[in-house]
């Protein structure tokens, strides 16, 4: 199989990103002035010094917004530029433009903002106590947990904490905006969702959407960070262009990006779990305190994914789970690969681990014993069809030779005092579809040109995940030609309208299906033409591999000749395809329904070694058994699993997102202005997983194909589910450090940094 075209071009540096695109003559570069305290009221903005710097300097404030100074769509709580108050450390207050980026940055530094400090809340529990919620809390329940707890032999409760995570997309946020023909706006945006950017621009400039074109060529990674939040930067660039009547490029440097933009939501959660004497988990309750940050953004959708995945891959008959969206004075937390599911998984896995510690049962046995089985119904009322958790777990036990691995680890730990080993298996069950019903739709536009070459446009954004490769595979299969004939175009609101973001792992599921539906229309016309040319019944004509056959016999008619003949007989060689995922429904009042097209299953084992004196650790091996249906491109899918594992391990173990002064108590007006400031805000201080951190051996096996619900050509979504495997890293390190200090308490506070490991081993109270 040929290597994916996009990645080859990327490696050669032939693909262009926002900062590489040659901007039109006269382009102004943008820079933002960020707030430097957690909350305050603007008293004055003095631009005099900035304007003296260079004649090209423009300083744009909230007063310059011609339409609504509002881009929040679920809840109108997100201003483009603040009129009155700023709500977090690092919020853009003004936009500066100048002929070079350096001048723009210097101008931003020279704008003097004076403000009156206001009290701020950084911590989600404090926000909850103060009643600061984005929206009312939400509960899902099934069975009767209270009654069930009374029947349990073991019941325990505890608290679980998980930190946020910076996206560290390779390409930071940015956009290039231009006013065309006096009243139209054209924007090249680094976004996962061009329609959202288009809407935000139309709303803030006060013009209809048909005068705004948004194009997204490709992104240097996004990971959820550009699902909603790219709209902000696109709208800000458009505002700059609208006001200055000059093209504007806004491209953030890493530090501004890390300070100003949202990240994965930190959570703090309370759980209660109970099991019977046989180790069957009977009841589970949890309250999730989501730190939503200062605006709504995608927080409700993320919270719903947490609640849907509250029981992980476990069948628990009695459940009550409640999520709280706590409004705080931190950047608005947002989508990040996994979208609330990792946070939910970590809570239930911590609860199961705590049960094992308390009861003395083997954690792995406890996990295995409680896996979802075929046909079982989730706490939101959806039966699991073709459920493969046990199959994946069994195969993993076999592949890792678990019993002897456990023995080897125990022997090693008995013989070594300075190093301890550990291992853990985490199963996954991940629902595929946007949790918001209306978002499960996609469109595509396909042209077959006279020479037989094919052009496909969809709403899918290429961000390194090779979605264009998958769409090419699907379109080629639908038309009956080789993939080399298919070119997948950049995404623009001009060719496909009203698109949803490329997100929720559904990019290829939805868009490749829309492209397929368009291709099928064109193919039917080609088949009809071939039938008339060959004097055959249309039903007997097939096109495959670029060859036309009648009743299985190859005809003297190739693809190119057929296309040309069809064109010459004045038949349309273009088609629009539209797909909406069938069979989805959900009753928000009853919290019951079938919100997902299907689930992805799998299991991962991670092995780790802890250095007892230092608290540092190495990851020795990861073994993954993953259900992905029939892969549309195995190399791409393996790459996606490896990348997701790295991000999951980074979140679980390494990436320490901390804000100054967030140790709980509210920040009074007189507090040091550093409160709320992101501590590690550059790549030299924010520690990321790298090749040395990753296990030297990562083995991935796919479960064989099986009938059951899936996406097109029996494939399954790949983007997010494998990120959950990173949690196995947490429990592997926990297992090893508990070998060093067996009677210590459970510790469920992610990321499990070496500092925490050492404190645990030394018995230092957290």
Based on CB atoms, which residue is closest to ligand LUZ, 257 or 720? 720
Q: Alpha-carbon distance 354 to 274, whole Å?
A: 11
The smaller minimum CB distance to ligand MOS, of residues 337 and 738, is found at: 337
Which of these segments, 128-136, 319-327, 333-341, 700-708, binds ligand MOS (CB under 6 A)? 333-341
In the chain, how long is the greatest CA-to-CA distance?
Answer: 88
Shortest distance (Å) from residue 477 CB to ligand LUZ = 26
Count of residues of this chain found to bind ligand MOS when the rule CB under 6 A is applied: 9
Among 275, 321, 439, 758, binds ligand LUZ (CB under 6 A): 439
- Measured from the CB of residue 164, what is the shortest distance to ligand LUZ in angstroms? 16
Shortest Cβ contact with ligand MOS: which residue? 224
166 binds, among ligand MOS, ligand LUZ, none (CB under 5 to 8 A by kind): none
Of 288, 339, 372, 731, the one binding ligand MOS (CB under 6 A) is 339
Q: Does residue 503 bind ligand MOS (CB under 6 A)?
A: yes
Helix, coil or strand: residue 227: coil
- How many whole angstroms separate alpha carbon 122 and alpha carbon 119? 10
Handedness of CA 185, 191, 194, 197 (dihedral sign): negative
Note whether 98 binds ligand MOS by CB under 6 A.
no
Distance CA 660, CA 668 (A): 14
φ/ψ of 182, rounded to 5, equals 80, -40
Quick one: angle between helices 402-415 and 389-399, nearest 10? 50
> Per the omega criterion (within 30 degrees of 0), is the bond before 751 cis?
yes
| Cβ(222)–Cβ(189) below 8 Å | no
Binding to ligand MOS in span 167-206, by CB under 6 A: 192
Q: Choose the contact partner of 435 out of ligand LUZ, ligand MOS, none; CB within 5 to 8 A by kind.
A: ligand LUZ
- Distance separating alpha carbons of residues 261 and 676, to the nearest angstrom: 14
CA–CA separation, 510 vs 502, rounded Å?
9
Least distance to ligand LUZ, CB of residue 66, Å: 29
Q: Are strands 592-594 and 318-327 parallel, antiparallel or unpaired?
A: unpaired
The verdict on 600 binding ligand MOS (CB under 6 A) reads no
Give me the residue label for tokens 């709209």: 231
CB of 92: closest distance to ligand LUZ in angstroms?
24
Q: Which of residues 75-114 bind ligand LUZ (CB under 6 A)?
A: none
Report the nearest approach of ligand MOS to the CB of residue 303 (Å).
13
Count CB-CB contacts under 10 A for residue 575.
20
Q: How far apart are CA 41 and CA 116, in angstroms?
A: 5
Is there binding between residue 339 and ligand LUZ (CB under 6 A)? yes
Q: Using an 8 Å Cβ cutoff, are 453 and 604 in contact?
A: no
Per CB under 6 A, the list member of 504, 557, 678, 739 interacting with ligand MOS is: 504
Nearer of residues 591 and 720 to ligand MOS, judged by Cβ: 720
Q: Would you say 619 and 694 are in contact if contact means Cβ atoms under 8 Å apart?
A: yes
Q: Where in 486-505 is the site for ligand LUZ (CB under 6 A)? A: 503-504
Set 29, 349, 607, 720: catalytic member: 720
- Partner interacting with residue 436 (select from ligand LUZ, ligand MOS, none; CB below 5-8 Å by kind): ligand LUZ
Nearer of residues 268 and 433 to ligand MOS, judged by Cβ: 433
Does position 335 interact with ligand LUZ (CB under 6 A)? The reply is: yes
Binding marks (x or -) toward ligand LUZ, 718..757, rule CB under 6 A? --x-------------------------------------
Cβ closest to ligand MOS, residue 503 vs residue 610: 503
124 catalytic? Reply is no
For residue 725, what is the DSSP state?
G
436 binds ligand LUZ (CB under 6 A): yes
Specify the stretch interacting with ligand LUZ by CB under 6 A; choose among 106-114, 139-147, 297-305, 636-644. Answer: 297-305
Q: Rounded to 5 degrees, what are φ and ψ at 573? A: -105, 20
- In angstroms, the Cα distances linking 74 to 134, 196, 296, 472 are 10, 12, 7, 34
Residue from 295, 322, 435, 631 touching ligand LUZ (CB under 6 A): that is 435
Task: Write down the residue that tokens 């809340």 correspond to.
Answer: 121
Task: Work out how close the CB of 503 gets to ligand LUZ at its nearest, in angstroms, rounded to a whole number.
Answer: 4
| Binding partner of 301, given ligand LUZ, ligand MOS, none, CB within 5-8 angstroms per partner class | ligand LUZ
Q: Given the rule CB under 6 A, which of 363-371, 431-439, 478-486, 573-581 is the region that contacts ligand LUZ?
A: 431-439
- Give the one entry of ligand MOS, ligand LUZ, none that residue 192 binds, where binding means its C-beta sits below a cut-off of 5 to 8 angstroms depending on kind: ligand MOS
Q: Where are the beta strands (DSSP E) in 340-437?
A: 419-432
Q: Tokens standing for 714? A: 């029996």
CA distance 67 to 51: 25
Question: Closest approach of Cβ 636 to ligand LUZ, in Å?
Answer: 19
Stretch in the footprint of ligand LUZ (CB under 6 A) among 346-354, 390-398, 434-442, 578-586: 434-442
Cα(81)–Cα(237) distance, integer angstroms: 12
CB atoms within 10 A of CB 429: 28
**Dist CA 180 CA 202 (whole Å):** 14
Q: What angle do CA 603, 396, 750 make, to 5 degrees?
A: 40
Nearer to ligand MOS, 648 or 676 (CB): 648
CA 62, 63, 64, 69 dihedral sign is: positive
Q: What phi and psi, each to the nearest 5 degrees, are found at residue 185?
A: -120, 130
Q: Is 505 in contact with 717 (CB distance < 8 Å)?
A: yes
Catalytic residue ranges: 720
Binding site for ligand LUZ (CB under 6 A): 227, 298, 301, 305, 335, 339, 434-436, 439, 503-504, 720
Binding site for ligand MOS (CB under 6 A): 192, 224, 227, 335-337, 339, 503-504
């Amino acid at each position: 199989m040929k290597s994916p075209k996009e990645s080859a071009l990327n490696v050669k540096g032939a693909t262009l990103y926002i900062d590489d695109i040659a901007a039109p003559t006269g382009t102004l570069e943008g820079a933002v002035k960020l707030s430097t305290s957690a909350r305050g009221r603007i008293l004055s903005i003095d631009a005099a010094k900035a304007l003296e710097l260079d004649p090209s300097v423009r300083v744009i404030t909230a007063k310059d917004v011609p339409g609504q100074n509002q881009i929040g769509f679920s809840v109108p709580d997100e201003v483009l530029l603040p009129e009155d108050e700023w709500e977090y450390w690092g919020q853009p207050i003004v936009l500066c433009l100048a002929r070079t980026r350096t001048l723009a940055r210097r101008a931003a530094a020279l704008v003097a903002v004076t403000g009156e400090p206001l009290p701020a809340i950084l911590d989600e529990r404090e926000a909850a106590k103060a009643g600061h919620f984005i929206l009312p809390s939400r509960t899902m329940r099934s069975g009767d947990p209270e009654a069930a707890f009374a029947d349990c032999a073991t019941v325990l409760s505890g608290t679980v904490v998980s930190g946020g995570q910076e996206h560290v997309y390779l390409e930071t946020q940015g956009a290039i905006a231009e006013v065309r023909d006096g009243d139209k706006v054209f924007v090249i945006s680094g976004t996962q969702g061009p329609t959202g950017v288009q809407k935000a621009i139309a709303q803030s400039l006060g013009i209809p959407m048909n005068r705004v074109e948004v194009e997204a060529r490709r992104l240097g990674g996004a990971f959820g960070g550009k699902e909603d939040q790219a709209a902000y930067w696109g709208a800000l660039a458009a505002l700059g262009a609208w006001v200055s009547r000059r093209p504007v490029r806004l491209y953030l440097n890493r530090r501004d990006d890390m300070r100003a933009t949202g990240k994965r939501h930190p959570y703090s959660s309370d759980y209660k779990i109970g099991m019977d004497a046989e180790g069957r988990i009977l009841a589970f309750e949890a309250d999730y305190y989501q730190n939503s940050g200062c605006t709504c953004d995608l927080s409700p959708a993320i919270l719903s994914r947490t609640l849907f995945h509250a029981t992980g891959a476990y069948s628990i008959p009695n459940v009550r789970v409640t999520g709280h969206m706590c409004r705080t004075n931190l950047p608005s937390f947002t989508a990040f690969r996994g979208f609330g599911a990792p946070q939910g998984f970590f809570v239930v896995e911590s609860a199961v681990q705590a049960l094992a510690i308390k009861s003395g049962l083997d954690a792995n046995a406890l996990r295995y014993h409680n896996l979802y089985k075929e046909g079982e119904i989730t706490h939101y009322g959806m039966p699991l069809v073709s459920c493969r958790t046990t199959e994946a777990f069994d195969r993993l036990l076999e592949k890792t030779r678990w019993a002897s691995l456990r023995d080897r680890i125990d022997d090693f730990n008995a013989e070594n005092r300075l190093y301890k080993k550990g291992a853990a298996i985490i199963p996954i069950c991940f629902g595929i579809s946007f949790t918001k019903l209306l978002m499960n739709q996609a469109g595509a536009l396909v042209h077959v040109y006279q020479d037989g070459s094919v052009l496909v446009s969809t709403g899918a954004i290429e961000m390194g995940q090779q979605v264009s490769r998958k769409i090419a595979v699907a379109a080629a299969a639908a038309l009956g030609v080789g993939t080399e004939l298919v070119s997948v175009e950049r995404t623009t609101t001009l060719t496909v309208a009203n698109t949803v973001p490329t997100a929720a792992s559904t990019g290829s599921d939805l868009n490749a299906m829309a492209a397929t539906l368009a291709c099928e229309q064109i193919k039917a016309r080609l088949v009809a033409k071939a039938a008339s040319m060959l004097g055959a019944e249309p039903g007997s004509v097939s096109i495959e591999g670029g060859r036309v056959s009648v009743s299985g016999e190859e005809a003297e008619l190739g693809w190119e000749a057929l296309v040309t003949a069809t064109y010459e007989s004045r038949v349309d060689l273009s088609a629009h395809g539209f797909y909406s995922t069938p069979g989805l429904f959900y009753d928000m009042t009853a919290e019951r329904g079938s919100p997902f097209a299907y689930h992805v299953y799998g299991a991962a084992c991670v092995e780790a070694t802890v250095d007892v004196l230092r608290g540092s650790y190495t990851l020795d091996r990861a073994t993954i058994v993953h259900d992905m249906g029939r892969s549309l491109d195995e190399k791409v899918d393996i790459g996606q699993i490896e990348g997701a594992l790295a991000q999951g391990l980074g979140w679980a173990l390494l990436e320490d997102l901390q804000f100054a002064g967030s140790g709980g108590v509210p920040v009074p007006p007189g507090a040091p202005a550093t409160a709320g400031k992101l501590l590690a805000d550059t790549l030299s201080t924010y520690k990321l997983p790298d090749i040395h951190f990753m296990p030297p051996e990562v083995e991935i096996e796919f479960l064989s194909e099986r009938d059951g619900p899936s996406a097109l050509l029996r494939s399954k979504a790949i983007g997010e589910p494998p990120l959950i495997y990173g949690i196995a890293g947490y429990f592997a390190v926990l297992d090893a450090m508990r070998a060093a200090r067996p009677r210590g308490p459970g510790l469920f506070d992610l990321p499990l940094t070496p500092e925490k490991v050492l404190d645990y081993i030394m018995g230092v109270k957290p």
